[in-house]
């Protein structure tokens, strides 16, 4: 995978490194299978947004649970499996629904708007509101008064409409304490709508939409959000390569465990290939990417080449030998950061 990534654009290489960072921080036992996971996720990400694939998936779709098609509420989905199937399934049953977005980039919103037009096929069954615009609040209220359902992707971590200073809730996710936006709970509480959690799953020969038990409107945001994110965690544990969130989980504002900065004294050292990746972009910039802390360590070209050779040959080198090629203070800094272990 490293060789494949090196042939791609720097954006693709950086996306792969962020993916590794998220695996290490949230579920490091998956690290050994991370290359295959990344291939699957990228392939599935492409398939999840392609119209022909969605049509085929809809024809081979199994529904599990009560989909509440004729009750107004909030469909709470995740970037899991073929996640656009949720909207396509509602559309195929004539269920008018509005997707809640939080897009700052105008070009990205235009692309999404084009997808909606194609999906609608001349109807207005599917629509969206972009909550970064205040005027869309009026549009949202109009849609709700018309009886439309809402579709929210909880792991997109949407903000609430009021943008107050208390718009986040602290929950536990994969044994980490993270701050998540209250969006899905806020809409349920504000407009007195039940939440219908739904998971899209891929299986051999087709796809599944599994509708979980309804969550009633509640004044308790923490309990509601914790239940939603625990559901996501349950399916991640079962099907880790179906969650696209590995590409953006670093945005969850995690409070992650940090290793100490102590430097143990050893006779031999080797490059920490499990924690660091080489990153050379632009071509005159040389860095090591720290998977644990999602940071770049800048190096000069000579030091970069030295560490790269040590890594490629998988050498364990005596400290006294390393001290002859790497200045003492720099070596100490690199061991504190666990570049050498």
Q: What would the pLDDT profile of 301-336 be if each residue is shown by its tens digit?
A: 888 888 988 888 777 787 877 777 788 888 888 988
SS3 22: helix
Q: pTM of the prediction?
A: 0.76
Q: How confident is the model at residue 259 (pLDDT cuts 50, 70, 90)?
A: very low
Q: Which helix (H) or strand (E) holds 27?
A: helix 10-27
Please, what is the average pLDDT of the chain?
A: 85
Cis peptide before 197 (omega within 30 of 0): no
Sign of the Cα torsion 46, 48, 50, 56 reads positive
Cβ contact 13:6 at 8 Å:
yes
Question: How far is residue 59's CA from residue 187's CA, in Å, rounded to a whole number?
Answer: 32
With CA atoms as reference, report the closest residue to 104 among 143, 158, 181. Answer: 158
How do beta strands 286-290 and 295-299 pair? antiparallel
Is residue 125 helix, strand or coil? coil
Is the pLDDT at 95 greater than 80, yes or no?
yes
Q: pLDDT band for 49, please (50, 70, 90 cuts).
A: low
Q: Look at residue 265 in the predicted model and tell me its pLDDT.
A: 62
């Amino acid at each position: 995978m490293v060789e494949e990534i090196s042939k791609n654009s720097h954006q693709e290489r950086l996306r792969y490194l962020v993916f590794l960072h998220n695996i290490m921080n949230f579920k490091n036992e998956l690290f050994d299978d991370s290359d295959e996971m990344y291939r699957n996720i990228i392939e599935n990400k492409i398939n999840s947004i392609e119209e022909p694939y969605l049509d085929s998936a809809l024809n081979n779709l199994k529904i599990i649970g009560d989909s509440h098609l004729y009750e107004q509420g909030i469909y709470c989905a995740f970037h899991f499996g073929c996640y656009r199937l949720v909207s396509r399934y509602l559309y195929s049953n004539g269920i008018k629904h509005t997707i809640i977005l939080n897009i700052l980039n105008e070009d990205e919103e235009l692309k999404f708007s084009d997808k909606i037009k194609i999906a609608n096929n001349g109807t207005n069954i599917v629509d969206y509101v972009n909550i970064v615009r205040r005027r869309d609040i009026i549009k949202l209220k109009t849609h709700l008064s018309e009886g439309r359902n809402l579709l929210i992707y909880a792991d997109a971590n949407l903000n609430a409409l009021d943008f107050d200073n208390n718009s986040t809730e602290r929950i536990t996710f994969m044994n980490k304490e993270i701050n998540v936006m209250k969006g899905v709970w806020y809409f349920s509480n504000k407009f007195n709508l039940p939440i219908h959690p739904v998971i899209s799953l891929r299986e051999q020969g087709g796809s599944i939409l599994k509708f979980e038990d309804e969550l009633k409107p509640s004044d308790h945001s923490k309990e509601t959000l914790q239940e939603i994110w625990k559901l996501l965690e349950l399916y991640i544990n079962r099907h880790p390569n179906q969650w696209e969130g590995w590409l953006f989980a670093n945005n969850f504002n995690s409070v992650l465990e940090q290793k100490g900065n102590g430097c143990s004294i050893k006779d031999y050292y080797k490059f920490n290939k499990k924690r660091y990746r080489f990153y050379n972009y632009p071509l005159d910039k040389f860095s090591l990417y720290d998977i644990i802390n999602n940071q770049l360590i800048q190096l000069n070209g000579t030091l970069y080449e030295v560490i790269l050779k040590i890594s490629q040959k998988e050498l364990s080198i005596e400290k006294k030998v390393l001290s002859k090629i790497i200045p003492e203070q720099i070596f100490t800094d690199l061991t504190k950061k666990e570049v050498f272990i």
